[in-house]
Structure 1
Amino acid sequence: MSGSRGRHVSLPAVFMRGGTSKAVFFRQEDLPKAAPPRDCSNWDAIFCGVLGSPDPNGRQLDGMGGGLSSLSKIAVIGKPTHPDADVDFTFAQVGIREAIVSYRGTCGNISSAVGPYAVDEGLVRATGNSATVRIHNTNTGKIVVATFALQDGRAAVGGEQSIAGVAGEGDPVRLAFLDPGGATTGKLLPTGNARDELDVAGVGQIEASLVDAANPVVFVRGSAFALDPRSRPEDLEKDAELVQRLEEVRVASAARMGLCSEQEARTRIKNLPLVSLIWPRSAASAEADIVTRMISAGQPHRATPLTGAMCLAVAGRLPGSIVAEALSERSEPDRDITIAHASGILTLGAKVRISGGEAVAEEVVVYRTARRLMEGRVFYRTS
């Protein structure tokens, strides 16, 4: 009788925090053979089992997940398949209530833990006081350069860098995302426009900026939904009608950006694009340049997803975009952008140049912290 319930299986794994997210890290060699990121179906059941999905209660109590999209993540680290990289990094976003694993897009926060993981695991040799690890993100085909301090040959963790949304301090991890434009769709502006008019079910006509840098994001004005810039994620989450309207914005945007059909956006690719509500600098954020609340996988984020913030920083350099409009006079080309989100302030630097009348995103730089939380073997059930 017990055999029909499947077997209890374990794999070597490391549990890490990267920025404001957490993920279970695997070496690719310890998983069934796959060809990231297009053919990873051999991994889906394992990742769902490890994180405790699907869970109709939305808590993932029978796994390592935490009931939030920022805590339902997997990182797979392998030998480099790119000539300019030290390691491959494949990111997986795992559904909470449903057995869905998406390899579309990436996670900037978890990217900050990849370099320290690679050094601590001996996948990359590093000596001296600091290390630089060139990461090939297989999901996007892009290179991320991570630079961080070393202590006794391992990634240092005792620094004084603090980031909004994470208690305590740590050593900074400098992340440079090279050529982030078109990470998922192949185009920085998937529609060719800095601003589009969307016809959204339950919402009507709405102006939006559809931008793909690090991850695809749809930017809409918070005022279009009569929302206050001081709105808390918990308040947004309690408004089921609002969450559904924003989900319709995401679905319509996914189709317009060419990510997938509306049907696929509703059933299979539920994490992209991110939805970013935008407000200009206000009394609620006098120390910041712009205010945002972001939603992914149907959940308002407690802290802005890093890839979403990077896309926002790039969008702020695109003339005519809703983000550039909100920044107005505070969007000098060489100036960092400070973003107010639900957990505090995030500062990013974005380099965008205009070439032949088209915008080209050259680089986005941000600082995070990361830390190894646990290592050993993770157990999951095969059924």
Structure 2
Amino acid sequence: MNDLISVPCVLMRGGTSKGPFFLASDLPADQAERDQILLSVMGSGHPLQIDGIGGGNPVTSKVAIIGPPTVPGADVDYLFAQVRVDQQMVDTSPNCGNMLAAVGPFSIEAGLVLARGATTVVRIHNVNTGKLIEAEVPTPDGRVAYLGDASIDGVPGKAAPIALTFMDAAGARTGKLFPTGQSLEYIDGIAVTCIDCAMPMVLFDAEAIGATGNETAAELNADKAALGRIEALRMEAGRRMGMGDVSDQVTPKPVLVSKSKGNGDINVRYFMPHQCHPSLATTGAVGIATACIAKNTVASRLTGVRAPPLVLSIEHPSGHLDVKLQERDGKIVAGILRTARRLFEGQVFAKPTKRLFCAA
């Protein structure tokens, strides 16, 4: 019991996030044991995660667990875990679309999916939400390609493009696009939209908490008064959305919306939920774009309601993110371009759990 546990691991960047990828078979089946391994691996409970491989920021304290599919029509299962930086807590209630960008490449290179032609479509079952997402992965010569000419704001340089298509993102957590039954309502006199599309979120105008919407992520993170107001709105939104006490959950995510400051359609500041995202979550972009095409939401009041097919450009602190919306079989399908990169592979070490676990 005094020896460290070694677990096979691949560190990958997916979109604007980064974290370790594991095969489900290499982790304990027991959830409590698994979470203890993840907390030790990431070094959670310290602001720098100094005793682990986490990066001291929510976008670099994420974990992907990949395994064989458990639903028809999928190629792999993907369980996302948001590992808290400052607390010993693992939250598997949300999805992460940025980490999702690396699931296809990882699955192919792990032998779970065979490369097929110049582009391999990997159908991913997100265990967190029960939804299916298609990932188009470049596989020239039967191998994953990471180098290319695509670029995304928030990541330096260029890489091979990975197209993600969210097949039916509405009601990912609560089963309803608008869980409260209203597209617009008021919390403490502030107009909000509670929406569940790829990610449960509460949207409200930046000016309602005394912001302009053009602040940097660092400026918002330093505004303790604003953070307090945002958390109060989030807590009440979670209760109204049927999610109960969300103080120990990372959803719903708060989103400040404002008029476009450049050539985009809307400007946003997305919270994770207690820090402002340096760019924008992919799942958040899907939900925000969907709110823009719905009637009477705080987003569509800024953009004007428009019908798909269309491309919406969402401005964020690092640039912009485009979401392609179209209708397929009576449902809204959202497409986003991302990139990914394999960073290192090997063994990661964790402190032993109460019951000794040895990875195969």
**TM-score with structure 2 setting the length:** 0.95
- Aligned mate of 2:44, from 43, 53, 56: 53
Deviation, 1:104, is 0.2
Alignment of 1:188 onto 2:177: yes
> 2:309 touches 2:327 (CA, 8 Å); kept in 1?
no
> 1:105 touches 1:140 (CA, 8 Å); kept in 2?
yes
Match of 2:6 in 1: 10
Deviations 1:216-251 (A, max 9, x none): 010000111221232101000111111111111111
Match of 2:340 in 1: 370
> 1:237 touches 1:299 (CA, 8 Å); kept in 2?
yes
SS across alignment from 2:108? helix
- Aligned mate of 2:97, from 108, 121, 138: 108
Q: Distance in 2 between matches of 1:216 and 1:41?
A: 25
> 2:209 touches 2:230 (CA, 8 Å); kept in 1?
no
SS across alignment from 2:78? strand
Q: Percent identity?
A: 37
Alignment of 1:63 onto 2:56: no
SS across alignment from 2:332? strand
Q: Which runs of 5+ in 2 are unaligned?
A: 354-360
Match of 2:285 in 1: 309
Match of 2:265 in 1: 289
> 1:116 touches 1:154 (CA, 8 Å); kept in 2?
no
Match of 1:343 in 2: 318
Write the letter of the residue equivalent to 1:296: M
Write the letter of the residue equivalent to 2:272: S
> 1:69 touches 1:297 (CA, 8 Å); kept in 2?
no
Match of 1:260 in 2: 244
* Count of paired positions: 353
Q: Distance in 1 between matches of 2:57 and 2:326?
A: 32
Write the letter of the residue equivalent to 1:114: V
Distance 1:273 1:352, change over 3 A: farther
Q: Which runs of 5+ in 1 are unaligned?
A: 35-39, 199-203
Deviation, 1:380, is 1.5
Two-structure CA RMSD over aligned residues (Å): 1.6
Q: Distance in 1 between matches of 2:153 and 2:286?
A: 15
> 2:210 touches 2:226 (CA, 8 Å); kept in 1?
no
Q: Distance in 1 between matches of 2:331 and 2:59?
A: 26
179-188 or 227-236: bigger deviation = 227-236
Deviations 1:239-270 (A, max 9, x none): 11111111111111111111122xxx12x21x
Q: Distance in 2 between matches of 1:296 and 1:73?
A: 12
Write the letter of the residue equivalent to 2:120: A
Distance 1:166 1:133, change over 3 A: same
Q: Distance in 1 between matches of 2:350 and 2:313?
A: 41
